[in-house]
Structures are given as C-alpha cells and as structure tokens.
Amino acid sequence: MKEVKLAGQMVPAIGIGTWHMGDDPTKEDQEIQAIRAGLDAGAKVVDTAEMYGDGNSETLVGQALAPYQRSEIYLISKVLPNNASQAQMEAHLDASLQRLQTDYLDLYLYHWRGNIPLAETIAELDRLKQTGKIRAWGVSNFDVPDLEELWQLPTGKNVAANENLYNLETRGIEFNLTDWQAEHELPLIAYSPVGGQHNELHTTMLINPVVQEIAAQHQVSPHEILLAWTIHAGNTIAIPQSSQVKHVAANVKAAEIELTPTELKQLDREYPSPDHRVPLAVN
C-alpha cells in the first residue's frame, strides 16, 4: 500500500473524506459503517471540517472513531476563514475537538484564505500547535503565490500540507504548484479525487472509455483507477468520500494498484497536463 509522510508520520496514501456526511439522520448508521469500513481496510487519514454540515460531519466522525485507538487515526479538521483569527480560532478548535470526542487533531487546516491577515492566522495556528491541541497545521486551496507569501512568514515553513482539488480531469495545479510542493517537500492532499459528489464538477472521467478499459484490465472500478492515478506521482494523499461500505473499502485498496507507464501515457492523452497557467480550481 503506497504511503506518504505527513508531518513526520507515514500514512496510507488514500484516506477518507466526509463532506455531506452526518446531515441526514436516516443515513447515520450507514455512514458510520462506511467510515469504519475504510479504517478496517487500512486507511488512517480522516478528513473533516467545522464547515461540513455546520459541525454535523465532525459529530458523525467522532461517533465513527469512538471504538478505535486514537493513535490508529490521523485526524484532520479545518477552520473557516472568518474564524481564523487570534481572538476566535481556539474556541472553534475546542468546539471541533468536542464534536470529534478527542483532545487533539493530527492536522488543522486553514480551509481557504479570507480577510484575516495571513500572518495573524499562521501565528495563531503555530501557537495552537505549542498547546498540543493540534500536532501540525496546514492550508487548503492555496496557490503558488499564497504559498510563497506563507513561506516568508516567521513560522510559515511549519506548514505540513496543502489540500487542493486534484483529479485526472482537473490537473491545473500540475503547471507549477505540484512541482513547488515537491521541491519544498510539502505533501498535497487531493480532494474531489473522483470528481466530487453527484458529479457536481461535471467531469467526464468516470465514463471515459480509456479509464473504463484500464479499470476492466485491473478488474476494478473506474473510481479505483482514478484514485491510483491521483496518488501515482507520490507526495499525494487522496481523500475520496463515500457513504457505501463496499466503495470505501475498495477505494482504500486502490493504494495498491500500480498503473503501468503505458496506462499512464494513455490517460495523459485523454486528459493532458496543462501547458499554461490555470486558475486554481475549487469545489
């Protein structure tokens, strides 16, 4: 199973996304079983945020993780831009920890840039790291200029990861961001790796005949091929979301699929890497 070093810890390269989970009480049991199926299949990283369902996702994740040893999980949550101030962040972190039934996060991400000065947000994230309530902090939806600005801040180089939209059909960050992150040894956490929920990104990759043919050759689903592709270059963790036990378990096992150089070339022909700068994609 492919692994990536995240803030000094080796973790499997496929984790578990949880956006929109916990919103519908009739689906709660199924969603809890889905998260547990992912952990039982070998996943460690679980990604949530205070934004998701206004805390519903964190509450569900807390219930799902309750029977597990805390040290078996790499738990990520995120602070909203408006709450990322020196005055407010710790109270929001405490509320996340309470919903998650834990006393620390492995990684706390600044969800996206807002109006609070970056220096203030980063100083506060770094201070919270000193308290032990978070083991590491990172950013999300940051492009190269944002990372360069971050790098100039006194504790900016303590950033542990950048979480961005990345999949076979949305490769804009390959123009310069993925190289920047590789050079600076900053792992990428790839969100919407199979194209987002209910295909809200209007991607075609799941119905692409080449993707389907490669999936048939490996005797897996197109989703699993897309996940194997997302992590193939290394330094990248994909966090697919699914509420179906069998999908989550299969997704985690996709970290074992090796795409051949020929298959990678075929996929490049269908969805080429960009040859010009593309605005950062967000979902």
Ligand X SMILES: NC(=O)c1ccc[n+]([C@@H]2O[C@H](COP(=O)([O-])OP(=O)(O)OC[C@H]3O[C@@H](n4cnc5c(N)ncnc54)[C@H](OP(=O)(O)O)[C@@H]3O)[C@@H](O)[C@H]2O)c1
- As measured in angstroms, the least distance from the Cβ of 153 to ligand X is 21
Q: Which of 52, 74, 110, 271 is catalytic?
A: 52
Cβ count within 10 A of residue 103: 11
Comparing CB distances to ligand X, the nearer of 102 and 242 is: 242
Comparing CB distances to ligand X, the nearer of 15 and 156 is: 15
Torsion of CA 136, 140, 182, 234, to 10 degrees: 90
- As measured in angstroms, the least distance from the Cβ of 22 to ligand X is 11
Tokens of 144: 């190269």
- As measured in angstroms, the least distance from the Cβ of 266 to ligand X is 21
Cα–Cα distance, 148 to 279 (Å, whole number): 16
Active site residue 271: no
CB 253 within 8 A of CB 213: no
Comparing CB distances to ligand X, the nearer of 102 and 251 is: 251
Tokens of 164: 């961005």
The residue assigned the tokens 């269908």 is 270
Comparing CB distances to ligand X, the nearer of 92 and 223 is: 223
Binding site for ligand X (CB under 6 A): 17-19, 47, 111, 140-141, 163, 191-198, 221, 223, 239-244, 247, 250-251, 283
Listed in sequence order, the residues at least 6 apart from 130 whose beta carbon sits closer than 8 Å to its beta carbon are none
Query: Could you give the 3-state DSSP secondary structure of residue 217?
Result: helix
Cα–Cα distance, 56 to 61 (Å, whole number): 9
Cα–Cα distance, 280 to 283 (Å, whole number): 10
- As measured in angstroms, the least distance from the Cβ of 275 to ligand X is 25
Comparing CB distances to ligand X, the nearer of 17 and 130 is: 17
Nearest-CB residue for ligand X: 17
Strands 188-191 and 162-165, by their bridges, are parallel
- As measured in angstroms, the least distance from the Cβ of 40 to ligand X is 16
Residue positions annotated with a catalytic role: 52
